[in-house]
Amino acid sequence: MSFLFYYWTYPVVMDIQTTAPEKFPIPGITFCNGNAIKPNQFCKMRARCWPSFMFSTVNLCDKWADLCEMMENKMPMDFKAIAYAELLLRKDFSPAELQNFKKPIHDFFKCRIVSTDGERNCSTEDALIGSYYSNSGFFGICYTIYSQWSRPNKNIQEMSRSDRIEIEFHVDLVDRKSKVPADIPVLPKFNYPAFPTATQLVLHNNFVSVSPHRNGVDLLGGKRYRIHVKQASWIR
């Protein structure tokens, strides 16, 4: 009470200082990619896989409208429809199984840190890997880089305030591995668990584990995004 009385009675100058460090740890980056899987591996794990001759194009379009639009109402002769949801609802994947049917991260993910004196690639060698499945039917392999989750003594690279992080996702939903001009349509070999959203991304504190589906942004193929991140810390 004496402080309040003094504050109300006499002029008081309060000096509050803020500092913006020139360098700070690179934030944690978590992303889930619906096409970062090997669909054929699901068939080997006893998911139901139907070849194209077992159903008509009408049935395909009724069940996967987005996929049908992507294929322009045409069905490739070697197309397979995979019942992902049935397998995902009854099975929890072990780390070994995830390693078996995930695509290598370098096949679809590129990340670099650009600064005034050059650029360097992001570190992905020790990425944390997990899977995500929701009742809505979405499934994705999730990766986290620059994470101190469950490993608090891990050293994290630093970046300057003037640096920027450039991330590129290669979205391959056809699995043909053929090089054709971008204006020529290529029909896919498999359906995927998620259409049309390709990737979910969230940047976060290094010490926490965050779901991109709840806290991140949805990224569509063929688009360029700019995400501004504000980082703050409090010292008591």
pLDDT truncated to tens, each residue of the chain (236 aa)?
A: 555 555 555 565 666 666 667 888 999 999 987 777 888 888 888 888 888 777 766 677 777 777 777 677 777 888 888 888 788 777 777 878 878 888 888 888 999 999 988 999 999 988 888 766 555 555 678 899 999 988 888 899 899 888 999 999 887 777 777 777 767 777 888 888 766 556 889 999 999 888 887 888 888 777 788 877 776 666 65
SS3 label, residue 139: strand
Tell me the pTM: 0.76
Handedness of CA 174, 180, 182, 186 (dihedral sign): negative
- Contact in structure between 19 and 138 (CB atoms under 8 Å): no
Q: List residues bridging with 119 in a β-sheet.
A: 114
First to last CA, the chain: 23
Express the helix, strand and coil content of the chain in percent, nearest 5 each: 20, 25, 55
SS3 label, residue 230: coil
> Which stretches of 87-216 are assigned E, i.e. beta strand?
109-115, 118-121, 128-133, 139-145, 158-160, 164-169, 199-204
